[in-house]
Amino acid sequence: MGETLATLESAENASPFFREMLTGLARLFTFDVASNSTMEIFINDIPEEGLHETGKFPASIFDLSPEDAIRPMGAVLFDVHIHAFDEVIAFYGSLKGPFQLKCGTCLEYNDYEADFSDWKTDLDLEEKQRSFILEEVIREEFILNLPEHLRCDELIEGHVCPKAELVDQVLESAESDDESGGNPDAWKALDDL
């Protein structure tokens, strides 16, 4: 693999056909989901008209704790167009993947199918940056765009969160106490949930 990438880097003055062939070979050897390799994209290899990549990454790219509020439940799919500009890489396309999200009220996990069909982002380039890892960009986008601290009844149509009534009662009590001068036990009641 290292020899292929070294050959690719030394082929800057080669014909476009030869460079494209080497780029394809480099990706073939670089991107192998089964062996948990990374998909490194060299900025100089992005043609003027852009680059189109499709595929999937395993849930292991997230490397999250089992106690995290987000649990990836399978491979994430991507269909991405990539354009290189002077100091930024622009991405657009779609991202999909199965997750479980923790309810911010009852703390139970619920299934959630993330579907970002009109996804757009960009990556600011560091000085002398020559490449980037696509799965790192996609990982960050999922983590930033997944809903946080939702109640499960906001996530699942027709579902009522088992703790919703209790939280609503405490909040109503806190509001009425604010109007009547306050109740120091309101915060304790919330803590006891």
| pLDDT tens digit sequence for 51-109 | 999 999 999 999 999 889 999 999 999 999 999 998 999 999 999 999 999 998 889 99
Give the pLDDT confidence score for residue 158 in this predicted structure: 82
pTM for the structure as a whole: 0.67
The residues spanned by each domain of the chain are 1-30, 33-158, 163-193
Separation in Å, CA 91 to CA 20, 119, 136, 137, 153: 20, 8, 13, 9, 33
The reported pLDDT for the residue numbered 92 is 97
Which H/E stretch holds residue 79? Answer: strand 76-84
CB 43 within 8 A of CB 70: no
Using one digit for the tens of pLDDT, what is the confidence trace for 22-62?
555 444 443 434 444 689 999 999 999 999 999 999 999 99
